[in-house]
Structure 1
Amino acid sequence: MLYRYLVLMSSSVLAACGSVEVSTNKPFPHELNPRTFFTGKICADGVVRDYSGQQIRHFNAEILASWDADGVGTLAEEFRFNDGIEYRTWTLAPLMENESVVAYSASATDVPQATRMEFSGNAIHMDYQLNYQTGVNDDGTPETLSLTMTDRMYQVAEGVVVNETVMSKFGIDVGQVLLVMRQVGEEYSCWVNEGV
């Protein structure tokens, strides 16, 4: 089934109507700044649902996040699904205004065009196109499905972010990723039944 292969990671990534402005989240107490939250090791656990809301996959994930001297972030993600392992690496480049970071330009190998990562209050929002690999053609070239992704993340407690990604094709919702991310120590294992 085609929907079985639909997933983001994001980063990852609570979605609501695409018209909701991220700035409306300013009054909430837990500030979500990408550079502050995406630092060190982050564990994530979640599910993928199809267009009807039926769960079709579940996963644990590990995100290793770091920043260089120019303020560019790298998020190396490993997803362990019930049916396989997937990887994605995001690069977050700061967008400046009056010497302050106002957003990030977010890109990944399977995101053909960089997107703007907006953040305000306790929320992060991104809209982007994802070329999700579903297999390999007879000639060895990747077989991909292009999806429109809407990511919304909310910090609900210190070091804890809830994320929902809505996946759509031709303007029709085809699936959803729900996950919780939490900051952990380097010694912590993100994998079920392994380590701490």
Structure 2
Amino acid sequence: MRMIIFASKYLAGVFLVLSLLACSSPTVTQYAQEKPALDLSEYFNGTIDAYGIFTDRSGNVQKRFTVLMVAKWSVVDGKKTGVLDESFEYSDGTKQKRIWTLVEVSPGKFIGTADDVIGEAVGSSSGNALNWAYTLALPVDQSIYHVQFDDWMYLVTPKVMINKAKMSKFGIDLGEVTLSFYKR
């Protein structure tokens, strides 16, 4: 009987550890060896076209959109600083503008700001990947909601990048934004 109780506790412990490992989020450093290596100031420099969708938590496409991005980098106060001017056009005809200012605060570490970002976006890059975490003031109907983004970008070729961003509020999954970027 003791053996059965011990085996049950052991299996429960193993199950708990495996469950916790399965829930762990990826880290940007796990992509350190992936190629092509992403240099943010190189990729987001010039004109970039993007094509995206927003899916709700059930996976249903709620919005389709295109983005025209014009980006330029310079050195300000000794730090690489980029301005990304994004023009969105949604399938329902609405338009939106967002202008990001990105600063490389140390190698592979970035801070981003935009008018509709609450505070600062914090980003890290390694290998072909970049991960951003930020809160966006998102307009929905006549209201503004502060929504958290876990935003991942992966450089596929020197001209193509894929972006997946999970959106949540109070830890509840709201949906995902998926984008493909093409550098002209």
Structure 2 length as normaliser, TM-score?
0.82
CA distance in 2, matches of 1:174, 1:135: 16
Tell me the residue number matched to 1:80: 89
Root mean square deviation, CA, Å: 1.4
Identical-residue share of aligned pairs (%): 31
Tell me the residue number matched to 1:147: 147
Tell me the residue number matched to 2:26: 20
AA aligned to 1:82 is S
Tell me the residue number matched to 2:9: none
Query: Is residue 44 of structure 1 aligned with residue 53 of structure 2?
Result: no
AA aligned to 2:132 is M
* Preserved contact between residue 18 and residue 150 of structure 1 (Cα < 8 Å): no
CA distance in 2, matches of 1:115, 1:38: 16
Gaps of 5+ in 2: 1-22
Query: Is residue 168 of structure 1 aligned with residue 168 of structure 2?
Result: yes
AA aligned to 2:103 is A
Match of 1:56 among 56, 59, 62: 62
Q: Deviations over 1:38-96 (max 9, x none)?
A: 00000001111111000011111111101123221000101111111111111101203
Deviation at 1:172, TM superposition (A): 1.1
Q: Deviations over 1:146-195 (max 9, x none)?
A: 111010000111211000011011111111111100101xxxxxxxxxxx
Tell me the residue number matched to 1:125: 131
Q: Deviations over 1:121-160 (max 9, x none)?
A: 0000011111112245xxxxxx311111010000111211
For these two proteins, the number of residue pairs brought into alignment is: 158
Gaps of 5+ in 1: 1-16, 137-142, 185-196
Structure 1 length as normaliser, TM-score?
0.77
More contact order relative to length (CA 8 Å, sep ≥ 6): 1
Match of 1:93 among 86, 100, 103: 103
CA distance in 1, matches of 2:108, 2:183: 23
Instruction: Give the match's secondary structure for 2:156.
Output: strand
CA distance in 2, matches of 1:166, 1:78: 21
* Preserved contact between residue 48 and residue 70 of structure 2 (Cα < 8 Å): yes
AA aligned to 1:122 is N
Q: Kindly indicate which of the two structures has a greater share of residues assigned to helix.
A: 2
Tell me the residue number matched to 2:17: none
